[in-house]
């Protein structure tokens, strides 16, 4: 089957591109290797610029679990801390599983053809079209491709190999959502949904965080991938949880059960984000 555009990856970048192109009259296929709705290892904070996407009506969207207007930042030693409060929005907190599924629905309503649970195994560029070989054995042709499948996806790898881009630095993050109840979130994190940041956590070039949602806390950390080699990722998370418990930011009874990891591009975007019939966007292009 042939499309005008095939988009690999149905995260926010891919779904938004699908909606835009479909509304312009293009025949669009949106693919994702996971079955939707799916969990996404992410803090779930949407910066204030999301308000510019007026069709989302983010300020009234039920999917927004909290609105952050305050922060508490700790120095690497935790000896020093800085508190900040604002009357304006710092960012909106969402559950990525629900939010991403919502964006896919918008793309479908705009006319996009969505197929989930479909993995792209191989990309080849021909003179008159792009060809995708899928995990289910089928082949799909399109005039153009958009790679939006994340920091280390098939489109990113294809473009870097084709264009000779060897330098691509990744960070690793580990994250988990902890259900603690609305009263705990309200009492500890306040009406401004204060987020917590610990800079250079565990000596990493990164940070650890707490993003309070409606009745849960999104807790995680991130640092350069090469700094993680030889270190126990789960133990580092437990180390941060112990710190939070000592400061009464987390109930003492809460334990890590199912932390999940993800790769994040860092050190800027790729020096070239396009090649013949292929354009990268989102994490795949390094836009973080």
Q: Hey, where are the domains in the chain?
A: 2-43+97-167+271-285, 52-94+170-265
pLDDT, residue 144, reads 98
Q: Round to whole Å and give the CA distance between 129 and 34.
A: 26
What are the tens digits of pLDDT across the range 79-101? 999 999 999 999 999 999 999 99
Question: Quick one: tokens of 229?
Answer: 């080699």
pLDDT, residue 166, reads 78
pLDDT, residue 199, reads 98
The structure's pTM equals 0.94
Confidence of residue 288 (pLDDT cuts 50, 70, 90): confident
User: Mean pLDDT, to the nearest integer, of 189-200?
Assistant: 98
What are the tens digits of pLDDT across the range 207-237? 999 999 999 999 999 999 999 999 999 999 9
Kindly state which CATH superfamily the domain 2-43+97-167+271-285 is placed in. FAD/NAD(P)-binding domain (3.50.50.60)
Pairing of strands 195-199, 207-212: antiparallel
pLDDT, residue 148, reads 98
User: Mean pLDDT, to the nearest integer, of 123-146?
Assistant: 96
| Length of the chain as a residue count | 288
User: Mean pLDDT, to the nearest integer, of 184-201?
Assistant: 98
User: Mean pLDDT, to the nearest integer, of 171-200?
Assistant: 98
Order across the sheet with 91-94: list the strands: 45-47, 91-94, 64-68
pLDDT, residue 61, reads 83
Q: Round to whole Å and give the CA distance between 88 and 148.
A: 31
User: Mean pLDDT, to the nearest integer, of 115-143?
Assistant: 96
Q: Which of 54-58, 69-73, 190-194 has the weakest average pLDDT?
A: 54-58
What are the tens digits of pLDDT across the range 9-64? 999 999 999 999 999 999 999 999 999 999 999 999 999 999 999 999 888 889 99
Q: Round to whole Å and give the CA distance between 118 and 104.
A: 15
| CATH number of the structural domain 52-94+170-265 | 3.30.9
The share of the chain scoring above pLDDT 90, in percent, equals 92
Output the average pLDDT for the chain.
96
Q: Round to whole Å and give the CA distance between 136 and 8.
A: 15
Three-state DSSP string of the chain? CEEEEEEECCCHHHHHHHHHHHHCCCCEEEEECCCCCCCCCCCCEEEHHHHHCHHHCHHHCCCEEEEECEEEEECCCCCCEEEEECCCCCEEEECHHHHHHHHHHHHHHCCCEEEECCCEEEEEECCCCEEEEECCCCEEEEEEEEECCCCCCHHHHHHHHHHCCCCCCEEEEEEEEEECCHHHHHHHHCCCCCEEEEECHHHCCCEEEEEECCCEEEEEEEEEHHHHCCCCHHHHHHHHHHHHHHCCCCCCCCCCCCCEEEEEECCCCCCCCEECCEEECHHHHCCC
User: Mean pLDDT, to the nearest integer, of 266-270?
Assistant: 82
pLDDT, residue 59, reads 81
pLDDT, residue 169, reads 86
- Give the residue from 74, 278, 288, 31 showing the smallest Cα distance to 168: 288
78 against 2, higher pLDDT: 78
Residue 1 has pLDDT above 80, yes or no: no
Residue 284 has pLDDT above 90, yes or no: yes
Residue 253 has pLDDT above 90, yes or no: yes
pLDDT, residue 209, reads 99
């Amino acid at each position: 089957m042939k499309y005008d555009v095939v988009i690999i990856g149905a995260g926010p970048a891919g779904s938004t591109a699908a909606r835009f192109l479909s509304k312009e009259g293009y025949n669009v296929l949106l693919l994702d290797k996971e079955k939707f709705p799916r969990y996404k290892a992410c803090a779930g904070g949407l910066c204030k610029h999301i308000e510019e996407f007026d069709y989302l009506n983010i300020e009234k969207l039920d999917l927004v679990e909290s609105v952050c207007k305050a922060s508490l930042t700790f120095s690497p030693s935790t000896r020093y801390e800085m508190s900040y409060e604002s009357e304006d929005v710092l960012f909106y907190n969402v559950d990525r599983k629900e939010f991403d599924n919502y964006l896919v629905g918008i793309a479908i309503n705009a006319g996009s053809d969505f197929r989930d649970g479909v993995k792209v195994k191989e990309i080849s560029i021909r003179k008159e079209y792009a060809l995708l070989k899928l995990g289910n054995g089928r082949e799909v042709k399109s005039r153009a491709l958009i790679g939006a499948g994340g920091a280390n996806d098939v489109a990113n790898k294809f473009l870097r190999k084709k264009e000779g881009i060897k330098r691509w630095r990744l960070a690793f993050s580990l994250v988990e959502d902890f259900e603690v109840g609305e009263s705990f979130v309200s009492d500890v994190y306040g009406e401004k949904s204060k987020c917590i940041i610990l800079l250079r956590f565990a000596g990493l070039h990164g940070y650890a965080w707490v993003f309070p949602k409606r009745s849960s806390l999104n807790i995680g950390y991130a640092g350069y991938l090469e700094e993680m080699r030889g270190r126990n990722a789960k133990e580092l998370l437990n180390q941060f949880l112990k710190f939070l418990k000592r400061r009464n930011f987390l109930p003492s009874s809460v334990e890590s059960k199912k932390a999940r990891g993800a790769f994040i591009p860092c050190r800027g975007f790729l020096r070239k984000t396009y090649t013949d019939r292929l354009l990268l966007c989102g994490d795949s292009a390094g836009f973080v």
